Amino acid sequence: MALSKLHQAKGHDSRYASAYLFGAVCPRRSVGAGLVMPRADTEGLNAHLIEMARTVTPGAHAVLIMDGAGWHKSEALIVPDAIPVSILPSYAPRLNPVENIWQYLRGNKLAHRFYDSYEAIVEACREAWNSVIAAPATITSIAARDWANVSA
């Protein structure tokens, strides 16, 4: 998810900067892992995969569901063994539970705001993500899919 800042000076200055929130959730365990990065690219996704791998229960696997962005399919992507990747078909965001987390964050934490600096954008993303992670019931209620339950 991208978040940009807009300056308004003397009526209509349109400079902006962006930060990208990489995130993944497990609705079953009500946990997640996230990073705020300056770019949405393979390097950022690799950093996110490392962060995700830290949260996977030893001996377990976490399936990372992604859309077809080019950097999601990069040959430079380093995918940990415990995190197999599933690439969704085009135009299928409803199949990815984290899309509902992005919608929730945009609607409740990040939309319709102006930020004075890039650091303020990063802090807003961090606070928004941490608010979701601090509320396990929110993760489950937003991201759970009845059809996705797998028996242990």
Instruction: Using the structure block, give the residue that is written with the tokens 């995190």.
Output: 83
Domain that holds residue 88: 2-148
Instruction: Using the structure block, give the residue that is written with the tokens 């995130």.
Output: 23
- Whole-number pLDDT of residue 151: 54
Is the pLDDT assigned to residue 13 strictly greater than 70?
no
From residue 21, give the alpha-carbon distance in Å to each of 2, 35, 36, 44, 106: 6, 6, 5, 10, 11
- Whole-number pLDDT of residue 1: 62
Is the pLDDT assigned to residue 147 strictly greater than 70?
no
Least confident range from 53-62, 92-101, 142-151: namely: 142-151
Contact predicate 57/34, CB 8 Å: no
Is the pLDDT assigned to residue 78 strictly greater than 90?
yes
Per the structure, the count of domains in the chain is 1
- Res. 94 pLDDT band, cuts 50 70 90: confident
User: Where is pLDDT greater, at 14 or 103?
Assistant: 103
Is the pLDDT assigned to residue 100 strictly greater than 80?
yes
HEC per residue, 53-104: HHHCCCCCCCCEEECCCHHHCCCCCCCCCCCCEEECCCCCHHHCCHHHHHHH
Q: What is the CATH number of the domain that holds 120?
A: 3.30.420
- Whole-number pLDDT of residue 135: 93
Is the pLDDT assigned to residue 93 strictly greater than 80?
no
Q: What is the mean pLDDT of residues 20-46?
A: 91
- Whole-number pLDDT of residue 4: 54
Closest CA to 128 of 7, 39, 26, 21: 21
Please name every residue paired with 68 in a beta bridge, in sequence order, or none if there are none.
none
Closest CA to 67 of 53, 86, 47: 86
- Whole-number pLDDT of residue 101: 92
57 CB contacts (<8 Å, ≥6 apart)? Answer: 29
